[in-house]
Structure 1
Amino acid sequence: MRSLIPLIMSLIAGLSTVIGAFILFLSKEKNNRLITFSLAYSAGVMITVSFTDLFASAEEVLTKAHGSLKGIILSCLFLLIGSLLAYLIDEFIPDDPKGSINRYTNSNEKLYRVGLVSMIALIIHNFPEGVATFISGYQNTSLGIYVTLAIALHNIPEGITIAMPIYYSTRSKKQAFKYTLYSGLAEPLGALVAFLFLRPYISEVILAITFALVAGIMLYIAFVELIPTARIYKHNKVYLFSIFLGILTIVVSHMYSH
């Protein structure tokens, strides 16, 4: 069944959020090197997928449909709209108060609220990612794998973001896993909605627009969230190695998929 593979991909991408909780419990202390690696590697993957696959595919289709100049303009326009959507999510969805983990360590109630707000924000963030994963995989399995990999990798540190405050405020692994799982399940839910309601309307042009939008969202996440956060931990060698490894992973994978 053609739709089964992208649905499974979205489930894998979503459940990777729970890996963040596993990492938190396996490590007695906060593992900054591991977080740096996950964030930077994911950024490298996202940037490369956005430019070499998503945007390139969108530009090719829109150029065929509307001519060279208009196709390029439309591709760039939808890329910018995708970035703007990601920016608006950042602006209007409550985020972690600055320094919250350090400031609220002695206040379980406030620390718990940080985890709860993070979960709500990430549910809203993960739902359209599930739609993007399904549409990408439905059109092209290889492209769907790239998008799944990029999303899964950046979902891991997101899982840590939810699990850490919930666990340290409640001392309950069950609670931390439950809240992290809720966030992750938003991904396959988005894919299921795409499968049930959006599939009949999928066309080359609609896919091209979606790819450009998703590329903009992914670039925003990479440059505004992942890279700055990875650099905070000051593991510069790990950061540089990881981001280039992420880029090379996609470049090398092209040798086997084209």
Structure 2
Amino acid sequence: MMWEMFLTLGPVTQALVAGIFTWGMTALGAGTVFLTREVNQKFLDVMLGFAAGVMIAASFWSLLLPSIELSAGLGIPEWLPAAVGFILGGMALASIDRILPHLHIGFPTEEAEGIPTSWPRSTLLVLAITMHNIPEGLAVGVAFGALAVGSTEALAAAFALAIGIGIQNFPEGMAISMPLRREGFSTLRSFWYGQLSGLVEPVAAVIGAAAVIIARPILPYALAFAAGAMIFVVVEEVIPESQHNGNADAATFGAMLGFVVMMILDVGLG
């Protein structure tokens, strides 16, 4: 019944619902702070690696490959929109990375990036997670915006992407709330900051879906843009965080598992 109702919604509304789902998974992960004060660091690193693997697989199977397929018959090389969008996505996130004050999980406050600020450590940690939730929300939104072309395969791909992003958002919620709890924050405050980091995803999803519906010719570029933004975040932030505590092999196998899970979701549902 709920699935049938979902199918009757427009692409922008579907993107909003999917964004709320991915945010909800972040909140669910952050909510584990109510159950325990401590989570094994190796487990957290494996989960971060898993998130990285999901994002890498989603970037190809759900974004870059559709971008290339949609570029066929445009009278230009099929790889061009994917290549241009991919690079622009990475450049956009690099610009945000240089400007927005943020601190990667597990790093000392002195290593905060972006414009120098006196903001508290908690704010900088949340902003770091928020920054890489932006391309995730955009990716979900652009994928549902692709439904404007009336493709059943696009719906399956968008649905698989939303599930994959939601799954990897669970450990991300844990990765922000648990360190804050260890640093002395109250349980409620740790949860609040953890879920807050994912609140940007429904907003970014709506923006992404609306953008490609209003300007359909940019769809191949927009899909690749979201992929480039996610890959930048994975390489610049998620992977280094997962391997910062001496659990490199475990985190790497977590990434491989995440890649396989996202690949199965995309191929199986698509």
User: How many residue pairs get matched?
Assistant: 247
Unaligned residue ranges in structure 2 (runs of 5+): 1-8, 112-117, 147-153
Identical aligned pairs, as a percentage? 23
Amino acid at match of 1:143: A
Q: Greater shift after overlay, 93-102 or 138-147?
A: 93-102
Q: Which whole-Å CA distance do the structure 2 matches of 1:160 and 1:255 have between them?
A: 28
Label 1:131 to 1:49 Cα distance change in 2 as closer, same or farther (>3 A): closer
Task: Tell me how far 1:155 sits from its aligned partner.
Answer: 3.5
Alignment of 1:26-41 (within 5 A): 26-41=35-50
Write the letter of the residue equivalent to 2:196: Y
Return the match for 1:253 from 229, 251, 265: 265
- CA distance, structure 1, for counterparts of residue 207 and residue 226 of structure 2: 17
From 13, 35, 38, the counterpart of 2:22: 13
Judge which range, 42-51 or 210-219, deviates more.
42-51
Match of 2:91 among 72, 84, 87: 84
Q: Provide TM-score, normalisation by structure 1.
A: 0.79
Give CA deviations for 1:107-130 in whole Å, capped at 9, x if unaligned.
xxx8x8111233345445534533
Q: d(CA) in 1 for partners of 2:249 and 2:21?
A: 30
Q: What per-residue deviation string (whole Å, max 9, x for no partner) do you get for residues 49-86 of structure 1? A: 21233111112222421322xx3233212111111112
CA distance in 2, matches of 1:255, 1:166: 37
Deviations 1:116-154 (A, max 9, x none): 233345445534533431221343232223432443345
* Change beyond 3 A, Cα 1:177–1:87: same
Does 2:159 correspond to 1:145? yes
Which of the residues 218, 229, 234 maps onto 1:222?
234
Distance 1:248 1:170 in 2: 37
- The aligned residue for residue 143 of structure 2 is 136
Conserved 8 A contact 1:63-1:72: no
Alpha-carbon distance change, 194 to 253 in structure 1, aligned in 2, over 3 angstroms: closer
Aligned partners of 2:262 and 2:22: how far apart in 1?
Answer: 17
Q: CA deviation at 1:89?
A: 1.8
TM-score by length of 2: 0.76
Q: Match of 1:75, as an amino acid? A: A
Question: Judging changes above 3 Å, is the alpha-carbon distance between structure 1 residues 150 and 91 closer, same or farther for their aligned structure 2 residues?
Answer: farther
Q: Cα distance, 1:237 vs. partner?
A: 4.2
- 1:58 corresponds, among 42, 64, 67, to 67
**Partner residue in 2 for 1:243:** 255
Distance in 1 between the 2:249 and 2:157 partners? 30
Answering whether residue 184 of structure 2 is matched by residue 177 of structure 1, we say no
1:88 is displaced (CA, Å) by 1.6
Match of 1:107 in 2: none
Structure 1 residue runs of 5 or longer lacking an equivalent are 104-109
Q: Deviations over 1:216-253 (max 9, x none)?
A: 01111222222222122323442233222122223333
Between the aligned partners of 1:91 and 1:150, the Cα distance in structure 2 is 28
